[in-house]
């Protein structure tokens, strides 16, 4: 371990006896993740840096990735249409009701929330162990929606949560990535939620089932493909027939 924790994991506070037991345990945490996301996933490499943030309030959590100055330090390639809002991968987890809500924009500029089952990953726990700074972390693997993920979690922070939809492990996910490192999260800071750090959880009034999400994707793909087929070529021997490949982070298909 090259560096020590700047702040100790444990701060001894004298909370013995009735003074402690009379308090209600507040389980509110603010986790900051260093995040890299390959905007060209499955096609090339265009890794951009984001700030990932996981806010935990008792049985609910809210994760989002926000762009920073560094995200745009690198020029957008003119070859790509980069669709990016200020926040990406918004995920609300509800542990009481066992579901997640995630947002999708789908080029409509209108944010829609869809519901999905909480922590569907079937984790394979391994005995691989490493220290991330002073945190003892264990390795777990899973295959989820078309990608193999690796997560390093710590039992020292016994919160079964993690960035994005990742979670459901015995401890907080400290580092996680897919096997091709198209997405990468590394915990940088873990604090109690303070008045300064609180962010409002989105107030989701309308949510749609996951099946609707898949249906919308298919409809969208169909429309775009038809549009791109309507290219003029003008010349005799050329038949312009544009095709488009769609790249979605979660690879899902209709049942």
Partner 1 sequence: MKGITYFLFIHWLIFSISTQSGFSQSHCRINGSLITKEKDIPIANASILIRKPGTDRIISFSLTNHKGEFTIEILLPLGNYSLHINHISYATEIIPLFIDSAYKNYKDLVFRLSPKVHELKDVIVHSTPSGISTKGDTVEYVAKAYQTPEVNKLEDLLRNMQGFAIDVDGNISYNGKQVEKVLIEGEDLADRAYKLISKNLNAAFIDKVQVISNYNDDRLLRNIEQSGKVGINLKISQKWLNKISLSGEMGYSPNGRKVANQNSIYLTEKMKSLSLINYNNIGNSSTSNIGYFYQQDESNQNKIIEEADNGNGIIQSGNLLLPGLEDSYKRNNKDFSSCIMNSWKLGPGIKMKSMLGFAKSNVINTGNNFSETLITAANKWTIESDQNAEFVNNNYFARISLQHDNGGKNLGTYNVYLTQANQDNSYSNISHLSIVDSLKESLQNKLFNIKFSGSETYQNQNKSILKIELNFNKERSIQNFNNQTNRFIKYFNIDSTYLFNTQNLVNHSERVNLTFRWLRKFSTVSYQYGIQFRGDHNRYTTDLVNTSALVSRPAIINPTDSAKYSNDRIGLFGLITKKIGRYDIITLGGSSGLSYLSIKNRILNEKRYPFYFRYFFEYRKNITEFKTFQFQYQLEKSLPEERNFHPASLISGNASVLQTSTQIKFPLSNQIRLVYLSNNILKGTQLLLSISHSTDFNSNTVSSYFSPEYSAYMMLPGEKSMLTTVNVNTEKYIKPLKSKVKIECQGMLAKRNIYINSVLKDNIYNSASTQIKWITAFPLPVNIELSARGSYFENYTAGQLNKKNQLWQYQGYGKVKINFSQRFYSSILYNYYLLATNNSFKKVDMYAVLKATKNCSISLTAHNLFNTSKIEQKTISATSIDINEFQLIQRYFLGKISFSF
Residues 159-178 that bind partner 1 (CB under 8 A): 159-161, 168-172, 174-175
Least separation in angstroms between residue 91's CB and partner 1 is 16
Among 120, 143, 158, 251, the residue binding partner 1 under the rule CB under 8 A is 158
Map the footprint of partner 1 across residues 69-88, applying CB under 8 A: 69, 71-84
> At 99, phi and psi to the nearest 5?
-145, 160
Closest Cα to residue 251, out of 177, 166, 145? 145
Q: How far apart are CA 95 and CA 108, in angstroms?
A: 30
* Pair 137, 125: CB distance under 8 Å: no
Chain residues 22-61 in contact with partner 1, contact rule CB under 8 A: 23, 25, 27, 29, 34, 36, 40, 43-47, 58-59
Out of 133, 208, 249, 252, which residue is the one contacting partner 1 (CB under 8 A)? 133
If the CB atoms of residues 109 and 255 are measured against partner 1, the closer one turns out to be 109
Closest approach of partner 1 to the CB of residue 55, in Å: 14
24 vs 255 by CB, closer to partner 1? 24
Q: In terms of CB distance, is 7 or 199 closer to partner 1? A: 7
Nearest to 33 by CA among 163, 169, 204: 163
By CB under 8 A, name the one of 117, 120, 146, 155 that touches partner 1. 155
Tell which positions 182-241 bind partner 1, by CB under 8 A: 184, 186-192, 223-224, 226-241
Q: Which of 243, 253, 254, 255 binds partner 1 (CB under 8 A)?
A: 243
Out of 102, 138, 149, 164, the only residue in the binding site for partner 1 (CB under 8 A) is 138
Count of residues of this chain found to bind partner 1 when the rule CB under 8 A is applied: 101
Dihedral over Cα of 217, 218, 219, 224: its sign: positive
| CB contact at 8 A, 164 and 91 | yes
The C-alpha atoms of residue 57 and residue 201 are separated, in whole angstroms, by 10
Q: Is 166 exposed, middle or buried (0-12, 13-18, 19+ CB in 10 A)?
A: buried
CA within 13 Å, CB half, 153:
26
For 84-147, the DSSP string reads --SEEEEEEEETTTTEEEEEE-TTTT--EEEEEETT----EEEEEEEEETTEEEEEEEEEETTE
CB of 145 to partner 1, least distance (A): 21
In the region spanning residues 93 to 132, those forming contacts with partner 1, defined by CB under 8 A, are: 95-98, 107, 125, 127, 129, 132
Residue from the set 146, 148, 212, 244 that interacts with partner 1 by CB under 8 A:
244
Residue 90 vs 93, nearer CB to partner 1: 93
């Amino acid at each position: 371990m090259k560096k020590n924790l700047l702040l100790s994991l444990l701060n001894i506070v004298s909370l013995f006896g009735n003074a402690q037991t009379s308090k209600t345990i507040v389980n509110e945490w603010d986790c900051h993740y260093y995040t890299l996301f390959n905007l060209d996933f499955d096609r090339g490499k265009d890794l951009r840096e984001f700030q990932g943030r996981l806010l935990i309030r008792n049985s609910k959590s809210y994760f989002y990735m926000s762009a920073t100055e560094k995200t745009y330090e690198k020029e957008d390639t003119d070859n790509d249409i980069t669709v990016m809002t200020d926040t990406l991968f918004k995920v609300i987890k509800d542990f009481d009701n066992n579901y997640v809500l995630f947002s999708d924009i789908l080029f409509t500029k209108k944010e829609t929330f869809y519901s999905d089952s909480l922590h569907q990953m079937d984790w394979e726990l391994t005995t691989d162990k490493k220290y991330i700074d002073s945190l003892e972390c264990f390795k777990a693997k899973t295959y989820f929606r078309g990608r193999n993920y690796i997560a390093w979690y710590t039992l020292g922070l016994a919160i079964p949560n993690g960035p994005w939809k990742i979670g459901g492990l015995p401890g907080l996910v400290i580092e996680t990535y897919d096997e091709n490192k198209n997405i990468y999260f590394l915990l940088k800071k873990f604090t109690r939620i303070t008045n300064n750090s609180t962010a409002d959880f989105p107030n989701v009034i309308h949510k749609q089932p996951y099946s609707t999400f898949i249906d919308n994707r298919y409809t969208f793909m169909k429309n775009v493909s038809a549009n791109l087929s309507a290219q003029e070529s003008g010349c005799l021997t050329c038949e312009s027939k544009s095709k488009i490949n769609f790249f979605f982070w979660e690879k899902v298909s209709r049942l």
